[in-house]
Structure 1
Amino acid sequence: MGALNRRRLLKQATAAALVSAAGTSEQQPASPAKPAGYNPYSAPSHLKITDMRACRIAANYDYPIIRIDTNQGVYGYGEVRDAGVEGIALILKAHLLGKNPLRIEEILRSIRQFANHGRMGGGYSAVDMALHDIAGKVYGVPAWRLIGDKVRDRIRIYCDTTGHKDPKIYAERMLKRKKMGFTFFKMDLYTSLVADRPGAVTDRGVATEKGLRYLCEYIQAVRDAIGWDVPLAADHFGPLNVKDAIRYARAFEPYQLAWAEDMVPWRNWRGLKQIKEATTTPILTGEDIFGLEEGFRTLIDNEAVDIIHPDPETSGALRETKRIADYADLHGIPTALHFAGSPVGCMASVHLAATIRNFVAMENHAVDMPWWGDLVTGPAKPIIQNGYIVVPDTPGLGVELNEEVVKKYLRRPGYFEPTPMFDELIVSGFHRGGPWWHYDEDGNYVYKLTY
């Protein structure tokens, strides 16, 4: 065969191969088959926040829940501090729209300026939870994995209880908690318990020495009921000053309390340090503090307390509270978590607690609400088992709202209704609104940005 014929045959074969390939490409998918376990939300570079909506659940302390939506269908839940309102988070919506929710630190830095102590830390904290929920779902990992290593598989829970003026009845209520499986307890020592006894309370609402002896009768009764070998903390002492608090704390010493909580306002770190140094009763505070630099660092650097007590729905939720706890641990100070919200915030706090090395226990304030756990699906039920909550290994926070139950307990009508009124900035730092009419450097009257 001549060279010309060989070239012609080769050319025809090449053309046939191209035609065959073209025909095949029309019949095959443009992308390769997706492997088993394919995550439909795995295009993180294209992920954008498109909305934030909210609802509020009626409870002992109302639960404001937010949902952050994205352009790929994945969403995340968060919770504003209990007894707050969802607007604390919704005012941040305009700062989130269009951003990639996986850039968690960048987003949190941008909204940190709008966070504050008490319930005003709730918006930032809710956003933090929702972002970690989204990121966990996108990457297929539990939220705890995004902030550290899991150092425990279950979280010890302590519960409060309702008081009673009769020490025996109060003790019976605490014993009931023990029979429910709890292993860590807290009681409230309101001055009102003894206010009707002659000579027990001053006109400032503070117990006298006689009144303190009466209050200690309650601790004694509870100790006798639940035992001396289990942790028992106390809270709600009234309007104490530093000297009052020292009297109280010393009176409590024989009962070996796990801690005395919020004896004076947290901003008074010098007073807290005085109290701590004057007693063997451990001193604890922190539930209303936002941020490490904004509040906890002063308490920790000055060793003003024995234990810190952040509430993740105020302190900054997962990422910021992890910073706070790690910093405290460097100073030998353990962390207990205050908490009184819904299962959404609860499970977010469980993920956090799983990564805290020097950890004591976490609060739950819904023991007497049988429907509390029904608000969500995902975790094993009951959520609290024998005084502990198991740390989830499912993606994100590991919870979904049970829509039917949530709608039954809404504070007001509206289940994640549209929130267009929050699409424009409501709170802001330095913000240039756009062009304006003025003379520019060349003397032209213009409507534009120049300087």
Structure 2
Amino acid sequence: MKITAVETHVCNARMRNWVFVRVLTDEPGLHGWGEATLEWHTRAVVGAVEDLAELVVGEDPTRIEHLWQTMFRQHFWHGNDIVRGTALSGIDIALWDILGKVHGVPCHRLWGGPVRDYIRLYGHLGGGLMEDFYESDEPARFAELGRALVEQGFTAFKAMAVPPTMPLEGLGPVRHAERCVDAMREAVGEGIDLMVDCHARPSPRMGHLFARALEPFGLLWLEEPCWPERADDIAAIQRSVSTPIATGERLVGIHGFRELLEKGACSVLQPDVTHCGGLTEARRIAALAEAYRVALAPHNPQGPVSTAASIELGLATPSYLICEAVTGDVPWRAEVVTESHRIDPAGMRAFPSELPGLGVEIDLDVVRRHPFEPELLQRVYYADGSVGDW
């Protein structure tokens, strides 16, 4: 069996262009689906997939580790930058989909079988609709959107209640974050888990202030309280509060995750299977997390192939805590893919499927109805006109 081609199919979903990767083989009807979605870098990723395709076409698709090493190490530059790492991830996910189909089993059975009965899902405020998740800034609106998610069945959700701040500001933004989180907690009660995503907006010192201020609300975690490049500062914030700190979505490859764990920088690792090196590297990261007894909760705001892959990973990973799930970014999301896992709306839990591989198939007719468009720009400037972090 040989790989005959690697294709990309781009589907515009407003904030993101989903980049679906299809690996074709010389076996009739046998192909695999992956995803390599990277907002604001779509054309670069498509080109990187084309470059990597030269390394794998003509090769045996079941030699996944060998092909991963080839894509990561060949052509001199290692695949640990975000564009090449995303392209590599998309191909790698598709290879696992093929291997599951070859053996007639879902991917999680290739990795030792299920270690749990279901995967708990958590929601994005507003279901992932860009205007609700990224642009809401009034406490009453946070409370309204939180109640809506609970009514939808979620027992946990994440919100961006921390505004962009300069390296040092007064109490204004900290008190605003307190009011927003307090409104959500009051609206949904203590039986619902809340997570707050700082989006790496704060400086280390502002990150400390936000973490201290939000500690009384009993968050499941506080995410990216400062730049991910500052592992020592993330570790200092983790030590200063009882709130678990989560980070890792921007890291490519196992080495950055190793540094976080060695420094005791977080309680929750968040590799993104479409960026970190695919399912192959995600499983290595998961094994490392298990050694440190740190929870795994993959970053997953992308398209439906990423979600299927993240759920399959969780079904076979002991340290896996919960899976991010976007449900309302575009109204036709469910039309683009066949559902791979049964979702129980009473609690938003995903149950294992016995479909082979990832269990998904992309409807290319739907993809063609939503061709590439430049993503909606997201720019942040401080009051004085200087550039901030989105």
State TM-score, norm by structure 2: 0.86
> Equivalent residue for 2:170?
208
The CA deviation at 1:252 is 0.7
- Which runs of no fewer than 5 residues in structure 1 stay unpaired? 1-46, 193-200, 413-451
Cα distance between partner residues in 2 of 1:289 and 1:335: 14
> Equivalent residue for 1:441?
none
The CA deviation at 1:396 is 1.1
CA gap 1:300/1:167 in 2 versus in 1, 3 angstroms: same
Equivalent residues of 1:205, 1:238 under 8 A apart: no
> Equivalent residue for 2:214?
252
Deviations 1:10-56, CA, capped at 9 Å, x for gaps: xxxxxxxxxxxxxxxxxxxxxxxxxxxxxxxxxxxxx0011111110
Equivalent residues of 1:81, 1:121 under 8 A apart: no
> Equivalent residue for 1:344?
305
Matching residue within 25, 34, 37 for 1:78: 34
Secondary structure in structure 1 of the residue aligned to 2:275: helix
Deviations 1:88-114, CA, capped at 9 Å, x for gaps: 322100100111001111110111134
User: Which amino acid letter does the alignment assign opposite residue 72 of structure 1?
Assistant: E
User: Which amino acid letter does the alignment assign opposite residue 269 of structure 1?
Assistant: A
Deviations 1:183-228, CA, capped at 9 Å, x for gaps: 1111102426xxxxxxxx7xx2755224312220110000011111
Cα distance between partner residues in 1 of 2:100 and 2:88: 18
The CA deviation at 1:65 is 0.8
Secondary structure in structure 2 of the residue aligned to 1:62: strand
> Equivalent residue for 2:337?
376
Cα distance between partner residues in 2 of 1:140 and 1:111: 26
1:322 matches 2:283? yes
User: Which amino acid letter does the alignment assign opposite residue 375 of structure 1?
Assistant: V
> Equivalent residue for 2:316?
355
Secondary structure in structure 1 of the residue aligned to 2:322: strand
How many positions carry a matched residue from both structures?
A: 355
The CA deviation at 1:237 is 5.8
1:269 matches 2:224? no
The CA deviation at 1:238 is 6.0
> Equivalent residue for 2:71?
111
Structure possessing the higher radius of gyration over alpha carbons: 1
Equivalent residues of 1:66, 1:78 under 8 A apart: yes
Cα distance between partner residues in 2 of 1:179 and 1:290: 36
- Residue identity (%): 30
CA gap 1:75/1:157 in 2 versus in 1, 3 angstroms: same
Equivalent residues of 2:198, 2:226 under 8 A apart: no
1:218 matches 2:180? yes
CA gap 1:381/1:325 in 2 versus in 1, 3 angstroms: closer
> Equivalent residue for 1:228?
190
State TM-score, norm by structure 1: 0.75
Matching residue within 53, 57, 60 for 2:11: 57
Secondary structure in structure 2 of the residue aligned to 1:179: helix
Deviations 1:348-390, CA, capped at 9 Å, x for gaps: 1111111111122111234242311111125367697742222
Secondary structure in structure 1 of the residue aligned to 2:266: coil
Cα distance between partner residues in 1 of 2:184 and 2:337: 34
1:88 matches 2:48? yes
Cα distance between partner residues in 1 of 2:304 and 2:331: 12
> Equivalent residue for 2:116?
152
The CA deviation at 1:153 is 3.2
Deviations 1:52-94, CA, capped at 9 Å, x for gaps: 1111010121101111111112111111034242223221001
Cα distance between partner residues in 2 of 1:370 and 1:110: 39
Cα distance between partner residues in 2 of 1:350 and 1:144: 9
Equivalent residues of 1:49, 1:99 under 8 A apart: yes
Cα distance between partner residues in 2 of 1:239 and 1:140: 45
Equivalent residues of 1:282, 1:306 under 8 A apart: yes
